[in-house]
Amino acid sequence: MTTERRTGRRTPAGAAVLREDVTDAIRGAVFEELAAVGFARMSIEGIARRAGVGKTAVYRRWKSKLHLVLDLVAAVAAQGMPAPATGSLYGDVRSVLELASYALRHPVASQVIPDLLVEAARNPEISDAIKAALLDQQQGVAAVVVRAAVERGELPEGSDPDRALDLIVGPLYWRLTVVRGDLPKGYLDDLAASAVRALKG
């Protein structure tokens, strides 16, 4: 007796089996295409060409470039950024800055993030996805940092995690994404110390 007869199930005729390596290649191509031409000029044709696949392979997985980008943003959000646990407020803030600076200085991310933020101003779906990937996740990290500092007596009860996030990451984002300047030696150390003083003040 065959497996199909024993289980009573059959694989649908013509069912597409989506190869994970092809999916990964397409996702990588999307980042490259976004960095090269931006969301507005990005096309399924360009993505397929970079991935070395046909357009059909892309459309089997996503019905439009918008859905493709939204899926990528959601995947980034799912990876998350671990909350630091160094044992001190300064150490935690410095760790957050290190991780954020690495992400913002990544060759692809440094091109993709500003472009998607521009598109987010025009498209509510992209705006919601960016918020989930960037803001919501970082707010969670800031809440952990603040709660731990309060428990250690480094910050007073009622300290605001949103204010902490603004003070910690805001200047770094401004410098790397808006001004697009380099980080001088010791910049993250000084920024961490300034953020801690501001949070305690």
Chain segment 1-29, per-residue pLDDT in tens: 444 444 444 444 444 577 899 999 999 89
Residue 7: per-residue pLDDT: 44
| Residue ranges of the chain with per-residue pLDDT less than 70 | 1-16, 76-80, 108
Residue 8: per-residue pLDDT: 47
Q: Which residues, in sequence order, are CB contacts of 54 under 8 Å at separation 6+?
A: 48
Three-state secondary-structure class, residue 194: helix
Query: Whole-prediction pTM value?
Result: 0.71
Distance between CA atoms of 124 and 155, rounded to whole angstroms?
Answer: 36
Distance between CA atoms of 121 and 37, rounded to whole angstroms?
Answer: 18
Distance between CA atoms of 186 and 173, rounded to whole angstroms?
Answer: 17
Distance between CA atoms of 19 and 29, rounded to whole angstroms?
Answer: 16
Residue 102: per-residue pLDDT: 85
Task: Return the structure tokens found at 124.
Answer: 């509510």
CB 97 within 8 A of CB 188: yes
- Asked whether the CA dihedral 166, 142, 148, 172 is positive or negative, the reply is negative
Q: Which of 73, 104, 114, 76 is nearest to 172 (CA)?
A: 104
Three-state secondary-structure class, residue 73: helix
Residue 5: per-residue pLDDT: 45
